[in-house]
Amino acid sequence: MPGITREEVAHLARLSRLELQAEELDHFAEQLDVIIGAVARVSEVAGLDVPPTSHPLPLTNVMRADEVRPSLTPEQALSGAPAAEEQRFRVPQILGED
């Protein structure tokens, strides 16, 4: 199985807005490689006749009626927020967009 490269870890870190040091990139590349290698072993036993699955249960069409259920209060909703202002979640300056 192809291993995960240092460049791929750097790319993922950028997408995830994580700042990683050079040594961390190497470290994670190695770790992720082991994890992915372990998961990849599944494909060794799954033949072409076994389609990839996204859900462990053979269910479809689990839906709910369009009926309103109670929401959290704004206080409850904001209780876990690191910062709030004007009853809204306050987040730091957004960069790289306009």
Partner 1 sequence: MNYDDAMASYDPVMGLEVHVELGTRTKMFCGCSTTLGAEPNSQTCPTCLGLPGSLPVVNAIGVESAIKIGLALNCEIAQWCRFARKNYFYPDMPKNFQTSQYDEPIAFNGYLDVQLEDGEIFRVQIERAHMEEDTGKSSHIGGATGRIHGASHSLLDYNRAGIPLIEIVTKPIEGAGVRAPEVAKAYVAELRELIKALGVSEARMDKGQMRCDVNLSLRPHGREKFGTRSETKNVNSLRSVERAARFEIMRHATVLDDGGTIVQETRHFHEEDGSTTAGRIKDNAEDYRYFPEPDLVPIAPALAWVEELRAALPELPRLRRARLQGEWGLSDQDMQSVLNAGAVQPILETIAAGAPADQARKWWMGELARRANESGTDLSEQPITPGQVARVCALVAEGKLNDKLARQVIEGVLAGQGEPDEVVAARGLAVVSDDSALGAAVDQAIADNPAIADKIRDGKVAAVGALVGAVMKTTRGQADAARVKDLILQKLGAA
Kindly list the residues in this chain that would bind partner 1 in the complex (CB under 8 A).
Answer: 11, 14-17, 54-55, 57, 59-74, 77-78, 80, 85-94, 96-98
* Shortest separation between residue 33's beta carbon and partner 1, angstroms: 18
* Shortest separation between residue 52's beta carbon and partner 1, angstroms: 9
Look-up: residue for tokens 């190695």?
30
- The Cα 19–Cα 9 span in angstroms is 11
Q: Which is nearer to partner 1, 45 or 57 (CB)?
A: 57
Dihedral sign (CA 80, 86, 88, 93): negative
* Shortest separation between residue 15's beta carbon and partner 1, angstroms: 6
* Shortest separation between residue 41's beta carbon and partner 1, angstroms: 19
Residue 85 half-sphere exposure toward CB, CA atoms < 13 A: 4
- The Cα 58–Cα 43 span in angstroms is 20
- The Cα 98–Cα 96 span in angstroms is 7
Q: Which is nearer to partner 1, 45 or 64 (CB)?
A: 64
Q: Which is nearer to partner 1, 21 or 87 (CB)?
A: 87
